[in-house]
Amino acid sequence: MDNKFETNAIRTQIERSQFLEHSAPLYLTSSYVFEDAEDMRASFAEEKDRNIYSRYSNPNTSEFIEKICKMEGAEAGFAFASGMAAVFSTFAALVESGDHIISSKSIFGSTHSLFVNFFPKWNVTTSYFDAHNLEGIEALITPKTKILYAESPTNPAVDILDLEVLGVIAKKHNLILIIDNCFASPYLQQPIKFGADLVIHSGTKLIDGQGRVLAGITVGSADLIDKVYRFSRISGPALSPFNAWVLSKSLETLAIRVDRHSENALKLAEYLEAHPKVNWVKYPFLKSHPQYKVAKKQMKAGGCIVAFEVKGGLQAGQEFFNAIKLLSLSANLGDSRSIVTHPASTTHSKLAAEDRVAVGITDGTVRVSVGLEHIDDIIADIKQALG
Ligand X SMILES: *Cc1c(COP(=O)(O)O)cnc(C)c1O
CA distances in angstroms from 233 to 142, 238, 239, listed in the order given: 32, 7, 11
The least distance separating ligand X from the CB of residue 382, rounded to whole angstroms, comes to 22
Q: At its nearest, how many Å lie between ligand X and the CB of residue 259?
A: 20
Residues that bind ligand X (CB under 6 A): 82-84, 108, 151, 155, 180, 182-183, 202, 204-205, 214, 216
* Per-residue exposure over 66-98, b if at least 16 CB sit within 10 Å of its own CB, e if not: bbbbbbbebebbbbbbbbbbbbbbbbbbbbeee
Q: 186 and 72 in contact (C-beta within 8 Å)?
A: yes
Q: Decide whether 159 or 180 has the Cβ nearer to ligand X.
A: 180
Contact 199, 69 (CB under 8 A): no
Nearer to ligand X, 107 or 272 (CB): 107
Query: DSSP letter string over 331-369?
Result: S--S-SS-EEE-GGGTTTTTS-HHHHHHTT--TTEEEEE
CB 334 within 8 A of CB 306: no
Least distance from ligand X to the Cβ atom of residue 269, Å: 20
Residue 38 CB, nearest approach to ligand X (Å): 41
Q: For ligand X, which is the closer residue by CB, 54 or 82? A: 82
Q: Which is nearer to ligand X, 182 or 255 (CB)?
A: 182
Residue among 278, 290, 284, 288 nearest 364 (CA): 278
CB of 199 to ligand X, least distance (A): 12
Q: For residues 129 and 183, which CB has a smaller minimum distance to ligand X in the complex?
A: 183
Exposed/middle/buried for residue 239 (C-beta within 10 Å: 0-12, 13-18, 19+): buried
State in angstroms the smallest separation of the CB of 354 from ligand X.
23
Q: In whole angstroms, what is the distance from residue 207 CA to residue 34 CA? A: 34
Judged by beta carbon, residue 8 or residue 210, the one nearer ligand X is 210
Dmax (CA) for the chain in angstroms is 75
Give the amino acid at 210: Q
Nearer to ligand X, 153 or 386 (CB): 153
Q: Closest distance between ligand X and the C-beta of residue 296, in Å? A: 21
Distance in Å, CB of 17 to ligand X, minimum: 30
For ligand X, give the closer residue by CB, 155 or 341: 155
Contact 258, 372 (CB under 8 A): no
Please state the closest distance from residue 148 (CB atom) to ligand X, in A: 16
Closest CA to 272 of 289, 292, 297, 290: 289
CB nearer to ligand X: pick between 170 and 200: 200
Alpha-carbon distance of 26 to 329, in angstroms, equals: 33
Angle (nearest 5°) at CA 89 between 225 and 243: 85
Secondary structure E strands in 120-193: 125-129, 145-151, 176-180
Give the residue closest to ligand X by C-beta.
Answer: 83
Question: Tell me, what DSSP letter sits at residue 145?
Answer: E
Q: How far is the CB of 98 from ligand X (least distance, A)?
A: 26
Spatial strand order in the sheet of 328-329: 278-282, 305-310, 365-369, 339-341, 328-329
Among residues 94 and 182, whose Cβ is nearest to ligand X? 182
